[in-house]
Structure 1
């Protein structure tokens, strides 16, 4: 009579621990995904800033030379890369916002 009650209580305890472990595991997985997306976004923003500095340096180097800035290969290449980076940054931040909604 005593052992069935102990067994039932033990099984209830195990079931609760499994539920909590799965909940915690899912929460940690979501948080790690969010951190990865935010880190990726920051890396893309760093690259964007590097490109802006590169463009600025090229434009500064061409000052007073009566040249079309857009004819410079480095400037146009950096601008194209910037145009590709901006949507990627936005998409990464949007995905992070979606993951963040799951956490809330």
Structure 2
């Protein structure tokens, strides 16, 4: 159980770091910002701050749900708890990478 809690703690830390990067990196940008470029190098997806806030909120929600499920499953199915914890780490790394890339492009 200790390893699962450490992995979830690291996941939460990375997701909160992604939120901090997005809030500080996009501070002062009032209008829409570029989210994605097409193959020609032109912006094809433009969104507001709400888009990035939704990504962070959905990532944190997935972390919380996976943590609760892992706590419930650890007694009977420890391998599923480990799979959920590593999946949460992957989700938090994705949130961190998304926040970093969007804040650096803009």
- In terms of fraction of residues, the more helix-rich structure is 1
- In terms of fraction of residues, the more strand-rich structure is 2
**TM-score, L = length of structure 1:** 0.49
Q: Compare CA radii of gyration and give the structure with the larger one.
A: 1
